[in-house]
Amino acid sequence: MSQLSKQIESDSCQKNLVEVLRISSKTNATTRRRRWTLFNARDAEEAAELTRTYYKLANDKTQNDPIKAVLKKAAEDVKSKDPQMVQHALMTFVSHHPDARKRNLRIPPLTHRGPGLSIPKNLSLAAPEQPTSCKVDLSGEDLLYYWREDPNFNEHHEHWHIIYPVLSDDPEHPEDKTKRFTKDRQGEIFAYMHRQMVARYDAERIGVGLKPVKPLDNYNEIIPESYNPSSHLVDSEDASSYSARPAKEKLKDVTFHNAEGQEEGTVKVSELKAGRDLLVKTIEQGYFDDPNKTKLTPHLIGLAIESGLAREKGFEKYGPFHDNGHILLGFVTDKPGVMADVRVAARDPIFWRWHKHVDDLYNRYQEKLGPHNFNDCPPVKICANGIILTFKDKIPNIKGLKDPQQDDAVAKWGECEFGREKFDKDPNPQFATNTLETKMKKRKWTWIEDDKKSSDIAVTFRVFFAPDEFVDKNQHWIELDKFKQELPAQKKVVITRDCDRSSVVRQPPQKTESELDDIISSKSIDGDKYCDCGWPFHILLPRGTRNGLKGKLLVFISDWTKDEVPQATRCGSLSLCGAEKPKDKYPDKRSLGYPFDRPFKNCSFEKTFQGLRNVAYRNVSIRWVDDFPDFTV
């Protein structure tokens, strides 16, 4: 087949995919026994079984075009089965089957798939004194409405759960149960990704004058916060709205029924308590309650907290703790609320209280590990004043250049402006800034490396930020970037890094309002440069405050030879999404969040990093502005 024919076929399949994922089947509403939810094990297995059907069809070489046959089957299924379930199964197929990946099929953004699930679209950033939700919540939670209701952020949460199903089938051997697997370090990635969400949420809370989120660790609590979703926020499949969650409700048992009214199972509050107590016991004793007394690892404890370990032989008593919390909170009233739907769950303030509790359990495990001793640091030194922040529009002679020419020009400029005789001197204020601005702005991170090693070395740069209020809490450091860098021997070098390249964000970064709501064309970017999982670029940094949110920016350099995973593939968003291929290794041997994956020495980040030559930090502020000059290439 010619390249033109392949492109035409790819475009046709993309069109069919968009149509299936946008179908609104109101006529199907009466056949839905209830709202489908990924957090219910029976529902999740129903979607997994359908994904297996799509895998088998894609592997059928008797088909003229197997991928097109899958899309045709999905178009039929969405009319006769629960549409949300079908769409979830199809998105899982598109994200994992190698032939679908080769077609460069793009899952449309949530704003395209379910406009009703994206209300309010293009939400303006309300000032703290001007909450914008439809009903005022006197607890102050409405001040974070702009962040929780962001459709691109909610899409990130949904898509992560598509990339990381509780149990994966081998796409090329879906009928073989012995080849089902969890992805490399999946439990650890679950814990870390959601920790980063909570850390970012708390940074936003500080910015609007609220205290850090309080964990929902008392299951008998009368919950004071309410959540009243917009009346326009609707399930696209049957145009039904989501239930409000009134204040002063408490958890109660939830029973599911099928279309005939027969009971399908009950999730009990007592089971949630028993699950928590078992997790605490397991963490305290240092091994699982299985026949082999399996030693704890970040991956296994993460799976036990979420829901994946109960499927393993000998671990049946470890139930779906995280998922059950979503169900009990999502059905706290008779009509389901947003917490039961992965596409919109993060809109409710109670999502954050629940996940703070989940993260505290994981942190309890990490506390048992004790602080790092950092005895394997590379022989490099980063200058104390070597972290320089530069706005890209301030860099001369790069406008109009494309990558990689732009990167080369910036590197040469950085060496001239901050290296040579200017090395370790105060940077020129014409180019350097202490204040970052938030409005989807490109920035250059620049590090000055004082190199005293005797031979060339490969290192990993790890970049984090924390508001001043949280610097002594390892859970609250926000990862901004992680990248490999080759350093020459016996040289003082200047390293530049464009924040567009961040290993945390979805690649390529979507920054303008039109890009945030657009499907990235398969013709616009090479498949190997595309990653459809990652943090939205426009909220890479906390919004900050009008006067500037004060915090610390930290750069830690580790030894790449101790970090490297041989022959690992990587997704564009390495930190949150890991490897590109389902069975590949996560491309970093270190624990996720390193060096903030352990408690601090004497509860102090300064004492923890004191005396280390491979780490530097500086004061920065993040200021929320209405506008600034945009840099365009």
461 or 33, which is more confident = 461
Is the pLDDT at 109 greater than 90? The verdict is no
pLDDT at residue number 226: 92
Is the pLDDT at 511 greater than 90? The verdict is no
For 258-281, write each residue's pLDDT tens digit: 777 788 889 999 999 999 999 999
Instruction: Calculate mean pLDDT across residues 343-351.
Output: 96
H or E segment and range at residue 90:
helix 83-96
Tokens for 131, please give them.
């909450």
Do residues 309 and 300 touch, judged by C-beta distance below 8 A? yes
pLDDT level of residue 7 (50, 70, 90 thresholds): very low
Is the pLDDT at 465 greater than 50? The verdict is yes
Alpha helices in 368-495 (DSSP H): 405-418
pLDDT at residue number 632: 41
CA distance 522 to 14: 9
Could you tell me whether strands 254-257 and 443-450 are parallel, antiparallel, or unpaired per DSSP bridges? unpaired
List, by residue range, all CATH 2.60.40.1520 domains of the chain: 381-501+538-566+590-624
Instruction: Calculate mean pLDDT across residues 564-570.
Output: 67
Question: Which class is domain 381-501+538-566+590-624?
Answer: mainly beta
CA distance 289 to 177: 25
For 354-371, write each residue's pLDDT tens digit: 999 999 999 999 999 999
pLDDT at residue number 431: 75
Do residues 361 and 276 touch, judged by C-beta distance below 8 A? yes
Instruction: Calculate mean pLDDT across residues 610-624.
Output: 93
pLDDT at residue number 214: 97
Instruction: Calculate mean pLDDT across residues 478-501.
Output: 88
pLDDT at residue number 554: 95
502 or 297, which is more confident = 297
pTM for the whole structure: 0.89
pLDDT level of residue 451 (50, 70, 90 thresholds): low
Mean pLDDT lowest for which of 110-119, 297-306, 370-379, 399-408?
A: 399-408
Instruction: Calculate mean pLDDT across residues 385-390.
Output: 79
pLDDT level of residue 245 (50, 70, 90 thresholds): very high
For 218-228, write each residue's pLDDT tens digit: 999 999 999 99
Tokens for 189, please give them.
């990635």
CA distance 461 to 458: 10
Do residues 598 and 606 touch, judged by C-beta distance below 8 A? no
For 115-133, write each residue's pLDDT tens digit: 788 775 344 444 443 433 3
Strands (E), 362-431: 381-391
pLDDT level of residue 113 (50, 70, 90 thresholds): confident
| 3-state SS string for 29-91 | HHHCCCCCCCCCHHHHHHHHHHHHHHHHHHCCCCCCCHHHHHHHHHHHHHHHCCHHHHHHHHH
Instruction: Calculate mean pLDDT across residues 495-508.
Output: 85
Do residues 551 and 620 touch, judged by C-beta distance below 8 A? yes
- Torsions phi, psi of 483, nearest 5? -155, 155
User: Nearest Cα to 573, choosing from 625, 502, 498, 524?
Assistant: 502
Residue type (1 letter), 264: E
List, by residue range, all CATH 1.10.1280.10 domains of the chain: 109-368
Most confident residue range from 106-110, 328-332, 422-426: 328-332
Which strands make up the sheet holding 457-467, listed edge to edge?
435-438, 615-624, 549-559, 457-467, 478-487
CA distance 468 to 349: 24
Question: 108 preceded by cis ω (within 30°)?
Answer: no
CA distance 165 to 159: 10
Mean pLDDT lowest for which of 52-61, 287-296, 340-349, 533-542?
A: 533-542
Mean pLDDT lowest for which of 30-34, 353-357, 549-553, 610-614?
A: 30-34
501 or 128, which is more confident = 501
- Torsions phi, psi of 542, nearest 5? -60, 155
pLDDT at residue number 5: 41
pLDDT at residue number 135: 46
H or E segment and range at residue 329:
helix 321-330
If you write DSSP's letter for every residue of 500-534 in order, what string do you get? GG-SSB-BS---SHHHHTSPPPTTTS-GGG-BS-S
User: Nearest Cα to 565, choosing from 545, 549, 580, 550?
Assistant: 580
H or E segment and range at residue 479:
strand 478-487
B/e letters for 487-497, b = 16+ CB within 10 Å, e = fewer, are beeeebbbbbb
CA distances from 248 to 41, 221, 244 (A): 28, 9, 12
User: Nearest Cα to 380, choosing from 120, 610, 65, 615?
Assistant: 615
pLDDT at residue number 99: 93
Strands (E), 242-362: 254-257, 263-267
Length of the chain: 633
Mean pLDDT lowest for which of 84-93, 203-212, 454-463, 549-558?
A: 454-463
Residue type (1 letter), 258: N
pLDDT at residue number 322: 97
pLDDT level of residue 628 (50, 70, 90 thresholds): low
Do residues 593 and 558 touch, judged by C-beta distance below 8 A? no
3-state secondary structure of 189: helix
Is the pLDDT at 471 greater than 70? The verdict is yes
Instruction: Calculate mean pLDDT across residues 587-607.
Output: 95
Q: What is the CATH number of domain 109-368?
A: 1.10.1280.10
* DSSP letter (8 states) at residue 465: E
Most confident residue range from 72-76, 130-134, 242-246: 72-76
Instruction: Calculate mean pLDDT across residues 4-15.
Output: 64
Mean pLDDT lowest for which of 115-129, 190-204, 563-577?
A: 115-129
Mean pLDDT of the chain: 84
Give residue for tokens 């530097």. 616
Residue type (1 letter), 291: P
For 92-108, write each residue's pLDDT tens digit: 999 999 999 888 888 98
pLDDT level of residue 24 (50, 70, 90 thresholds): low
Above pLDDT 70, what percent of the chain? 84
User: Nearest Cα to 67, choosing from 84, 78, 52, 55?
Assistant: 55
Do residues 255 and 265 touch, judged by C-beta distance below 8 A? yes
pLDDT at residue number 400: 67
User: Nearest Cα to 112, choosing from 534, 513, 517, 520?
Assistant: 517
Above pLDDT 90, what percent of the chain? 53
- Torsions phi, psi of 309, nearest 5? -80, -25
